[in-house]
Amino acid sequence: MQDIFTTQNLTLSLLSLADVEFMYDLVNTPHWIEFIGNRYINNLEDATAYVTRIINSPNIHYWVVKLNRENKALGVITFIKRDNLDYPDIGFAFLPGYEGKGFAYEGALEILNAQLGLPEQERILATTLKDNVRSIRLLERLGFKFDREIVSDEETLQVYAIDQH
């Protein structure tokens, strides 16, 4: 998995322990809790354990998204192979001040293009709650199409898919 991606405005680098404070802030934002779920990260020690679990999992990849001109973390693009899905799942989350500014699209498109360029990546999924209209709009803009609904952890999720070109 490629460690660093650079776009016109962004640098995406794999999550590291240097990102603990940022992740603490991100997972405690209202939109993360509402649409992704409460991770019960109540202090930096919890955040360190959470980041360590992500870093040590071969099936989970988080790229921290930073503005090139500021080197300030503003969100993450995730790429996860979940046990309940046949293909990897791409996701995104941004701090409130950076939502709706095109950064999620730019970052997700970079990861998506890199992954869909790999021979083994014939399909990529994305899951979201049906109430997460902004996420659905972004997925559709990226080329994802609604595939099906699934129930995971007693929650109904919409699954979107994109196939290799």
CATH number at residue 75: 3.40.630.30
Q: Does residue 154 fall inside a structural domain?
A: no
Tell me whether residue 44 is in a domain: yes
What pLDDT score does 156 carry?
93
Residue 152 lies in a domain: no
114 pLDDT higher than 70: yes
pTM reported for the whole predicted model: 0.94
Q: Is residue 129, in this structure, part of any structural domain at all? A: no
Please choose, from the candidates 112, 98, 95, the residue with its C-alpha nearest in 3D space to the C-alpha of residue 7.
112
Strand pairing of 155-163 and 145-152? Answer: antiparallel
Q: Report residue 1's pLDDT band, with 50, 70 and 90 as the boundaries.
A: confident
Model confidence pLDDT, tens digit, residues 37-69: 999 999 999 999 999 999 999 999 999 999 998
**Residue 99 falls within a domain, yes or no?**
yes
Query: What per-residue confidence (pLDDT) applies to 141?
Result: 97
The number of distinct structural domains making up the chain is 1
Instruction: Examine residue 94 and state whether it is found in any structural domain, yes or no.
Output: yes
Domain contains 163: no
Q: Is residue 9 part of a domain?
A: yes
Find the helix or strand (DSSP H, E) in which 74 lies: strand 73-80
Give the integer Cα–Cα distance in Å for 62 and 69: 21
Residue 163's identity, in one-letter code, is D
- For 123, other C-beta atoms within 10 Å of its C-beta total 13
pLDDT at res. 5: 96
Q: Which domain range does residue 95 map to?
A: 4-122
